[in-house]
Every structure is written in structure tokens, then in C-alpha cells.
Structure 1
Amino acid sequence: MVGTMWKATVLVAVFMFSPGGDGLFPSLYKKARVSVPRKGDVGEPLFLTPYIEAGRLEEGKGRSMVPPFPGSNVKSYAGYLTVNKTYNSNLFFWFFPAQVDPTVAPVALWLQGGPGGSSMFGLFVEHGPYFVTSNMTLHPRDFAWTTTLSMLYIDNPVGTGFSFTDDPQGYAVNENDVARNLYSALVQFFLLFPEYKENDFYATGESYAGKYVPALAHYIHTLGPMVTTKINLKGIALGDAYSDPESIIGGYATFLYQIGLLDEKQRKYFQKQCDDCVKYIREKRWLQAFEVLDKLLDGDLTNNPSYFQNITGCPSYYSILRCEEPEDQNYYGKFLSLPQVRQAIHVGNRTFSDGSEVEKYMREDTVKSVKLWLAELMNNYKVLIYNGQLDIIVAASLTERSLRAMKWKGSQKYKQAERKVWKIFKSDNEVAGYVRQVDDFYQTSLGNRSSAWPRTCVLLGSGHSTPSSGVQLVVAGQHVLPRWGKGWAATLKLVTNTTLSPPTLLVNAKHIER
């Protein structure tokens, strides 16, 4: 059994589907407009820190309970946790106890990327218990992480989504700020919900959360067991992780040329700009590096289309198959604008921020690496790293480039490991993917080559799902996180999601020994 003899478990999966839903910067999230309604009772924001500090835990917990929405009986809790009183900085959370065995189920924190992307995207678009339809009703998700994981969604950093601060100095400017605020929120959370503090805890997220998650986990790791409120960290999961900008940026030009988005002349220009960016990174000229990258790829803070957008005609870099993301990814914004919803989740009339301010304060952080923290975590905890094969901004090959640049206890074996053909069942004619194995380190490519649709793959516990080309990736993290030490595999089956035109490919977990 994997994990019975090894302290750390690292799993890397590359899925043959389009990743999307989140990227280097929060442009996609800005499309989900959330407004404060002019009519209707929105209630008052619920600040739970005073209840925690006064020892009124049951009262605070009771007040944070979210009344069930029509057609749903899912139990959940929501409110604000104050992480800096000086600046009145508050993080908004929405917590869903596992529907199966919540007393023993792992607690998984989910963080969106961006920077400045709300985790409400992950909740409603990716793996929460329900999704929003065009008529503003909730529909239960067939495979939700909340079935067997207690999911904690936090709008992070301060200033993202419903999270806010009253002072510009309350914004995070680096990953140390992010980690410190998240840790403060987690400590308060486990004080408010002490019944979960002994459960296994996993920090998960995608894209720019490839920095947030290692930063938080490393912060917890360095504190050690001497803290008053111990967080039972077991591992992390990262999807399309933007953890090491230097290695990722250095590979953009070649990758974009190979997938046909650049011609030779454009490739040379792109490579020159990437080389300049990497040079600035190595010289620790963070702002100059950011400006080069923003003009080249994003155009977020220049108020002009980026070079990438001009030459490709695509405002989005989340999939090689589409230039725009599906409209149904934005339905949740209108849902969160409803007065009865705001009242139910205890945000009142607080503004929902699109992440622009967060990004401005995090500009220098954008090009900084967390690979040293990630390497230390890979040496000590279970780590899952996965990619969407059709991603552009954090492509699978760029993740491999990052892994090869890292130094961890299995790095040399990883570089020499043989990649093998992998099938879901040995009797299958179709190849499900490819596996590279180094002790308890796996790198996997999954796909179904016969489909006319761009298929989406699901791996339980993967931590990332993305709708693309009308096909929604549904990730059900029901068993992989607690079972990384026991092996993994997947059973595929087609289902039809009534909100999408083509079929959705789901992977329902099934255990396979190593």
C-alpha cells in the first residue's frame, strides 16, 4: 500500500480536458457581476469573532447557520471572521459539513485563484453541492465534494468577493500576509466548530492558489505542534498551479508556438519578452517583471488588450478550444445579488469585490515563487498536483517544467522515471492516460481519444474542475484526499447535465491498488 511506508505522498495528474474557470489574473471572475439590491431585506453582516472571543460559541454557530434554499436540504454555515482589528479586515466563509459521516470526514479548505477570484466560483461552478440555473434556482450537483468532504470556502485574500477591509493597509501584498490572515481565520473557525478540529485537514485550490495553499500550509508547518489550536494538516491539492512563475513564464513562447497560437515571428517576440521577465525576476525587480507579463498576457492593469489578446483574437487563455467562457459560469453572480440570498448567507449589504484592488496590491507577488515552500511540503505531506491538458496559462507541460526545476527528495527519480500507458481496466481497448511513478509520486495524463466532444475527466479529490466547450468538468473529491496512501483510479461514465448541451464525462472514484 502506498503511504504505509512513506511519510509524504505526492500525486501529479494531467487530465485531457480544458481547465478554465480560473487563471493567472481574475479577468474571468469580473464577468460575474454581484450587486447590492435596491429593494428587499438583505439583513445584516454577521461578524463571528466577537462571539468566539466571548466564548459564546454555540450562539455564534447557531447564528451562522444558513437556512436551506428552496429545493435543497444541504446544511451550511456562513459569516465573517475578523483577521485584523486595526484595519477591520474580515474574511468571508461558507462551510458545508460532509453529507456522509461529517464527524470523521476530512475538512478541505478551497481557495480560488486570481489573485482576487472569489471561492464562490468554486462553490457554484465547480464542486459545491449545487449550481445556479438560468432562472436563479439551485440544482443539486451529481458529484459534489461536499458529499464526503466537509468543504470550507473562503474568499481570499482580504478584499476578494465578500471579504473586505476598511483600510488600504489591510490588503495583502505578499504570501506571508495571505498565510497569516488565513491562519487566523482557520484558528477561529476550529474554535467555532470544535467538533472538526481533530479531523484530517487539507488545503486545496487552483491556479494562483498554487501560491496561497503552499503559503498557508508552510505557515502551519513551521508553527509546529506547540500552538494552542493545532490544525491537523495532512496534505494539499493544487490544480493548474501557478506556484513558480519563473519556470512557467520561461516556457510560454515554445508552448504557444507548438499549439499553433504563435507563428515564428511572434514566437521570437514572445520569447524575448519572457526572457526579459525572467531576467527581472532573477534580479528581484518584481514590478518591472509584472509590467512585462501584464502587457504580454493579461492587459489587466494597462487598460489595453495584451499582446496575446491582439495576436490570437482571444480574450481568454483558459483553453485552446475556446476564446470565451460559457455564460452559465456567471449565473452565480446574479444569484448572490438576490436579497434573500444575501440575508441567508449573512453578508447584508456588503459590496462584492471583483478582485481589481487585490490584484493591484499583489502586483509584485505575481512573479514571486513559492517553490521552496512547496518542496518542503512535498517532503513532509501528501501532495496532489494536477493539470488540464488543454490549459494555456498553466499548461501541463509548464507544470512539468516547474517540477523539474524543483529540488525535493524525489526530484532525481522523477527526472529519470519512465512514463507508462494506463487503462482504467486492463481489458479496456481505449487508453485512459499515462502514468509516471516515482515511489509515491504520480504524474498522470487522462483522456478518451474516441470522443467527438472535448471530454472532461474527473478524479476524486483532484481539487479542480472546469467547464469548457460546453462540457463541464465535475470533480468529486469524495475519496482521493483521505485515500492517497492507498492508491487511486477512476471509473468513467457519461451522464447528461440538463444545463449543458453535450454530455458530461464524470469520473466516479473506484479504488485500485498500486
Structure 2
Amino acid sequence: MGRYHFALFLLFMFLIPLISNGAMAAGTVDGSEQWGYVEVRPKAHMFWWYYKSPQRTQDPNNPWPIILWLQGGPEVGPLDTFLKPRNSTWLQKADLLFVDNPVGTGYSFVEDDSLFAKTDEEAPADLVTLLISLFNSDEVLQKSPLYVVAESYGGKWAVLLGLSALKAIEAETLKLNLKGIVLGDTWLSPEDFVFSWAPLLKDVSRLDNKGVEKAKNLTQNIKQQIDQGEYEAATNSYFELEEVIDAYSNSLDFYNFLLDSALDPLSTTTVELSQKVKSKRNSRYLASLRSVPGGEADLNTLMNGVLKEKLKIIPEDVQWGGQAGSVFMAHAEEFMKPRINEVDELLAKGVNVTIYSGQADLICSTKGTEAWVAKLKWEGIQTFLSLNRSPLYCGGEKGTKGFTKSLRNLHFYWILNAGHYVDELLAKGVNVTNYSGQAGRPTDFFKHEQKSIVLWG
């Protein structure tokens, strides 16, 4: 979108009260976008932004889906960071609901530092409050199947949100059609991930024997601390492990172990936020809030400049991402806790759980993901693990793009040539499909009831 057209767009902005419980929201004249704040707790304000797909249909037999993105979603939105239309947006296949979660990230904010969510359970509870505010008063939204999609640390909140939402739905306090949880390169079992790092990096020649030995000593410390419930100590040991890997790998990129961190904008743009954190080294999960893939325009300048002006409802003293460092510090006790049991609960309740993993991701490595999946106690897990994988292809392009296998409501996708932010790569593809050797028919990444939908390309 050029500067002239964007200026015209701003002229047609107006504020409207959309939520009846006291929360104010705004939107575009044509109704294609709505955004606002929900006060999820006194003085704790959560920001949301809803995009309605121009392809949305009103077929009652095939209701249009909504994707709730909890963690960024690089390159899935309708515009790039130069405000130009993005042809590969996931908006072509679903409505998109972005939420700055937990309070303190993005445009979300608290009026008192004591109000940051301090546990993994508190953040999803705030999200349920937001969903009640948005969905209970809108029959159109209630009819749409909702898929919760999250990456990295957001996956822990997605799993807990799924369980909290189901409980609220059963209690009839939330009117929502939850259809699935999607976990991309998700920090579900920190122990399994940190144990995967040293052998993986040794195999790809980024660590020597001395580096492996030092890393393994620290991972043993982390395991002992987790076993004893010393989670904050485990978080501190995690920082030490990152420093060892960084030193012995010559600053490898934790998002893509085939790169140096200096070659990846997703790593080089984390410095500003990490300087705000009291610990020696901030988690790369919340640090990536200021990152922009592909060397695009500066995200911090964009969000605190022209977009803040467009939205009009952001308080003057609120800076996008301004409280992110404090959010991480509030979660220091939670950071190293596993959430495998909660995935088991979702599977047992029949919720569709889709897992995808980028081949070159280190921080949430495929090796670590496979390890925690193997620990599931779901009654179908042994059958699932014994299944053969099917290859993935990308439109008419040659070459294998990944692999997948599914059993009932559990689906796993291995995405080749991708790092931590798989959706960035997927957004550039077209109709990634799985051709089963038996059926010979395409099966798409996300399944909506008996129909398949592709969320990119």
C-alpha cells in the first residue's frame, strides 16, 4: 500500500463502541478490521486486532474459520512492514485475530507492575476473559470454528488456553467453537530441548568435544533443578547454557543453526530488548517481539509510529513492546516448566492438536519436539509413533518440502529448510500438500471438519 493510499485510508477511520462490557474498540468503515482493548483484570489491558477475510463466505454447512494468533505470526498478515499488500497472507483462507498476550507485550499494558501475569495459568485466564468479551456478544463469531495457533513460548499458553476455554464452554460462560490447537516449534518441554542441543550441534559441526562436554554438564544441572522444582534456578542455568553454546559455536543462530546470528535479522534485532532485562541474557522468545524477518522495515518504528496513529486508541504513554522485558522477568519461575500433560488432556478430550517443527530450528529443535511427543500418555501415541511418514510437496515445485503423519486428532509436520519461524517460510509457498502413497489425494496442513483448508499461498 503506497503512502498516498495509506493516507486516504486513515481519513476513513472512525471509532465505534463494539463491546458492551465497557471496553472500547475501533475499526475501519468497511468493517474489515476491528481492534480494541479488553480490561481482563482491573488495570490490566489486553489489545486485540481482528481482520475479516475478503474471501469470507456465509455457508452454514462450511462456516468460515478464525485463526487466533498468540505469538506474532511473521508474514501471515495482509500487509508487510512497508505497508504493501502481502499476496501470501493467511487471510485468504481464514479470518485472523491477533492478541498481544500476555498483558505487557505489544500494545497490551498494565498500570501497575504487580499486575503482570506471573504463571502460565494466569495468562490463558486473561485470554478467556478477552474471548468472552469478543465472542459472547457476536453470533457470527460464535458460528466460526476457532483455531488457536502459537509458536515458541506461546505454545504453552495455547495449550493452557485450550483447556481453560473448554472448561468455560462447558460451564456455558464462553460461547465459542474451539476446533483445534496448532503448536509451532513450541517450548513445551524445556528439558527435552536443552538436552537435544549439544548432540545436534556436534553432528552438524558447530560444537567440538570440549563445547559438548561443557554443555552436557549444564544440561545435567538443569535436569536436576527441574526435578527438584527449582525452576528459577533452571532458568538461570539455561542462560548459562546459551552463553556456552554461543561461545563454542562462534555465535550460532539459535533460530536457524545453519546460520550465524549476525546473518539473521531475527537474532540481530534482539539486542535492544535484551538490554532492558535484568538477567544477563533475555530469553529469545520474548526478545523476538522486536524482530522483523527478511530484512524488512524496522518494526519498532512502524508500530510506535504510523500504526499507533492509525489505531488512535493506544494511550500516549504506551509504547509497543515497552513492557516486554518485565513480562519475561515475571515469568522467570515458569519458563522451564513442562506442559506435556496438558497436551495429553487436550488429546483425551478430542481436541485436534497439530504440531509443526522447522528442520533447522535449534531453540525448539525437532529432536526435542520428537522427544516430548514420545512422552505423551495419550492412548493412541504408540500407534502414532509406529506410523510411516508421508512426504510434503509445494504446488508444482520439485523436491520434498517436508513430511507428515496423523492419527485421529494428533498431527505432526516436519518442515524442511525452515528454522524457528516456520510460518514465514510457509507463507511464501503455495498449497503445501501431502500426497499419501495409499490414497493418492492431497491432505492439507489444517483440517476443518471434513474439508481441508490451506492457510498460506
TM-score under structure 2 normalisation? 0.77
1:279 CA drift (Å) = 1.2
Q: Where in structure 2 are the equivalents of 1:204-215 lying within 5 Å?
A: 204-215=149-160
1:368 CA drift (Å) = 0.6
Distance of 2:65 and 2:427 partners within structure 1: 25
Residue 271 of structure 2 is matched in structure 1 by: none
> Are 2:255 and 1:318 equivalent residues in the alignment?
yes
Residue 113 of structure 2 is matched in structure 1 by: 168
**Which is bigger in relative contact order (C-alpha 8 A, separation at least 6)?**
1
Contact 2:76 2:427 in 1 (8 A): no
Distance of 1:422 and 1:397 partners within structure 2: 19
> Are 2:61 and 1:127 equivalent residues in the alignment?
no
Residue 222 of structure 2 is matched in structure 1 by: 277
1:375 equivalent among 344, 354, 357: 344
Moved more, 151-160 or 472-481: 472-481
> Are 2:310 and 1:337 equivalent residues in the alignment?
no
SS at match of 2:448: helix
Residue 465 of structure 1 is matched in structure 2 by: 423
> Are 2:209 and 1:264 equivalent residues in the alignment?
yes
Distance of 2:401 and 2:109 partners within structure 1: 44
Contact 2:70 2:98 in 1 (8 A): yes
SS at match of 2:354: strand
Residue 313 of structure 2 is matched in structure 1 by: 346
Contact 1:205 1:464 in 2 (8 A): no
Amino acid of the structure 2 residue aligned with 1:366: F
SS at match of 1:318: coil
1:487 CA drift (Å) = 6.1
Cα gap change, 1:261/1:338 in structure 2, threshold over 3 Å: closer, same or farther?
Answer: same
Residues 369-392 of structure 1: CA distance to partner in whole angstroms, max 9, x if unpaired? 111111111231111110111111
Contact 2:353 2:409 in 1 (8 A): no
Distance of 2:16 and 2:222 partners within structure 1: 42
Residues 390-422 of structure 1: CA distance to partner in whole angstroms, max 9, x if unpaired? 111011121111101221122111332334556
1:483 equivalent among 448, 454, 457: 448
1:92 equivalent among 35, 47, 67: 47
> Are 2:375 and 1:405 equivalent residues in the alignment?
yes
Cα gap change, 1:473/1:400 in structure 2, threshold over 3 Å: closer, same or farther?
Answer: farther
1:439 CA drift (Å) = 5.1
Identical amino acids, percent of aligned pairs:
22
1:64 CA drift (Å) = 0.9
Distance of 1:161 and 1:477 partners within structure 2: 31
SS at match of 1:261: coil
Moved more, 172-181 or 474-483: 474-483
Q: Where in structure 2 are the equivalents of 1:436-447 lying within 5 Å?
A: 436-438=405-407, 441-447=410-416
Cα gap change, 1:312/1:196 in structure 2, threshold over 3 Å: closer, same or farther?
Answer: same
Distance of 2:209 and 2:428 partners within structure 1: 34
Amino acid of the structure 2 residue aligned with 1:318: Y
Distance of 1:345 and 1:249 partners within structure 2: 43
SS at match of 1:126: coil
Contact 1:465 1:475 in 2 (8 A): no
Distance of 1:309 and 1:233 partners within structure 2: 41
Consecutive unaligned residues of structure 2, counting only runs of 5 or more, are: 1-9, 266-291, 434-443
- What is the root-mean-square deviation of aligned Cα atoms in Å? 3.3
Matched length? 397
Residues 422-455 of structure 1: CA distance to partner in whole angstroms, max 9, x if unpaired? 6679x997444444454564444354xxxxxxx6
Cα gap change, 1:339/1:218 in structure 2, threshold over 3 Å: closer, same or farther?
Answer: same
Amino acid of the structure 2 residue aligned with 1:142: N
Distance of 1:293 and 1:52 partners within structure 2: 45
Distance of 2:315 and 2:411 partners within structure 1: 45
1:291 equivalent among 215, 236, 246: 236
1:190 CA drift (Å) = 1.4
